[in-house]
Chain A
Amino acid sequence: MRRSLTISAIAHAVLLLCCLVAFSTAPLEVPQVQTLSVGTISEKDFTQLTQGVKNAPKLKLDDSKPLVDELGAPKPIDRLADKVANKPEITPDTSASKPQPKPDTKPAHKPQQAKAAPAYKPDQIADLLKKDDAKEPPKQDDKQASDKTAHDAPQFSAEQVSELLDHRDPRREEATGAALNNNANLGAATGAQDAQLSQSEIDALRARISQCWNPPAGVDSTTKVYIVLRALFKPDGSLVQDPIVVEGSASALGPALAESAKRALLMCQPFTMLKPEHYDQWKDLELKFDPQQLLGG
């Protein structure tokens, strides 16, 4: 028995030593997490931040990248050149009436007349302008400035207007340019650029759509189908084009549902409850037509 006891004791001692080695716990390595400081700003601050600066430097014409008509439009280069070449010819005829305080003959009188009395016939204006041209050819800056304002002037002859009009395909969508301008500018008209559509606007739109929507036979508030349409709006709330089906539930009712939803959108336009100030938010909407929500109330 003593021998066994000795063996056992020795074995335990050895085991304990092994445990001392095996259980020598290294302290847990806590990974060093970089602190991320988070600042919060109130909505008011945010609005002020994006409000724009009144005394911001005026942008040169090249700096501003306004809305473009069509992204990646395959315009032939020669046509562009054509336009540029043509424009100076037209503009002096049409819109030089406004920025003409410089000429000595009738200071501050002509612009008022031009605005107040649009009864002037284009020919008369042309005559007057010819006189001015003879006296003093307008500076290059004035030309450019008049270029910009040319679009606002309402008093054109029909041919000239037609020349100014864009004869491209009427099917086009507004989109922002490829590169945004980072220079400080006068800011957005509404301040907050990325504001959300307000709940009241969303509710009004939903109410209007559910009013207009005449779901196909077999679809009621308990049917589990849905369709998502993508609609592009013009600033006046009407549709740019027919809505596009983005997704829908796989169902035999699907095509009929999609048709009825499209019809509802087309019938109800324009959606005047969408405020033009927030046009950026609702110009491209994905609308989900779910009978359970729209019809069930």
Chain B
Amino acid sequence: MNPTDIAQSVAPLTSANLSLFHMFWHAHWIVEAVMVGLMVCSVWVWAIAIDKTLLFSRIRKAGDHFDQAFWSGQSLEELYKSLAANPEHSTGVLFVAAMREWKRSFEGHVRSFAGLQMRIEKVMDVAIAREVEHMERRLLVLATVGSAGPFIGLFGTVAGIMTSFQSIAASQNTSLAVVAPGIAEALFATAIGLVAAIPATIFYNKFVTEVNRQAQRLEGFADEFTAILSRQIDERV
């Protein structure tokens, strides 16, 4: 058998069809699986990134909006009434949770001031935890893709190079035409891995910072609001 024939049969990828599409279809199935997986990861990462960006911009806006209303001298009762039906994220939720607890303490005619402040604090802590959890959701995916993506891509590359060396061994022909397509596929896997991992890492860092900032804002508001309520309680007692 002619060596060139062997080369043709082993590596049907010729220079005429070296597009990404052909590169994908002629790859080994392991490499294909890695590529598809990384592609899905990339889509998911970007979906999360878009989602979180929108979420944080909404939270920031809502927080600013609430702060403006809260410090405008408006009666807290009215503010509660306007927000209770549909509390937005961020500080509004805290306010609603705390006010609800306050109201319950008074409306049940229990008038138990003793543990009121502690209860309000607890309620607000729970609300903060819930809010932070909501903000942090799916961020772990970003972290995972960011750290594991290059390795997965590397795995695909190693598998691809392995198969390309096998094709060299099969054709007993070390010409670049035999080796190049396999290596190109293999490197394509690493490329996709990096394409998925780099934005994931960047977005993860960005969003973690954002979550911390919002959590701090919530904590600050909780302390402030506790102080105000505690003053009220003391006045009533």
Contact = CB atoms under 8 A, between A and B. Distances in A.
Interface in A103-152: none
Contacts of B120: none
B50 A4 contact: yes
A162 interface: no
B18 A8 contact: no
A14 to B, nearest CB: 12
Given A4-B54, A12-B39, A23 B47 contact: no
B46 A12 contact: yes
Interface in B135-194: none
Contact of B51 (A1, A16, A24): A1
Nearest to B51: A4
A11 B44 CA distance: 12
Decide if the interface of chain B is mainly helix, strand, loop or mixed. Answer: helix
Contacts of A16: 20
A179 interface: no
B41 to A, nearest CB: 11
Contact of A8 (B16, B46, B54): B46
Interface string B18-49: 11110000000000000000010011111111
Contacts of B19: 20, 23-25
A20 to B, nearest CB: 6
Given A12-B39, A12-B42, A4 B20 contact: no
Given A12-B39, A12-B42, A5 B47 contact: yes
B20 A5 contact: no
B112 interface: no
B51 A25 contact: no
Binding site of A, secondary structure by majority: helix, strand, loop or mixed? helix
B72 interface: no
Interface residues of A, number: 16
Contacts of A25: 18-19
A4 B51 CA distance: 5
A68 interface: no
A161 interface: no
A19 interface: yes
A132 B21 CA distance: 107
Contacts of A197: none
A20 B17 CA distance: 12
Nearest to A2: B47
Contacts of A12: 39, 42-43, 46
A1 to B, nearest CB: 5
6 contacts: A7-B47, A7-B50, A8-B44, A20-B20, A24-B19, A28-B15
Interface of B: 15-16, 18-21, 39, 42-51, 54
